[in-house]
Amino acid sequence: MATDIVIPSDLWDEDEQTVLTTWLVSDGATVKEDALIAEIMTAKVQYELYAPASGTIRIKEKADTVVSKGAVVGTIE
Do the Cβ atoms of 75 and 61 come closer than 8 Å?
A: no
User: With a threshold of 0.75, does the pTM exceed it?
Assistant: yes
Q: Which residues contact residue 8 at a Cβ distance below 8 angstroms, ignoring those fewer than 6 apart?
A: 47, 49, 69
3-76 placed in CATH 3.20.20.80: no
pLDDT of 12 higher than 70: no
* Every domain of the chain and the residues it spans: 3-76
pLDDT in tens, 20-76: 999 999 999 999 999 999 999 987 888 999 999 999 999 999 999 999 989 999 999
Residue-level pLDDT at 13: 67
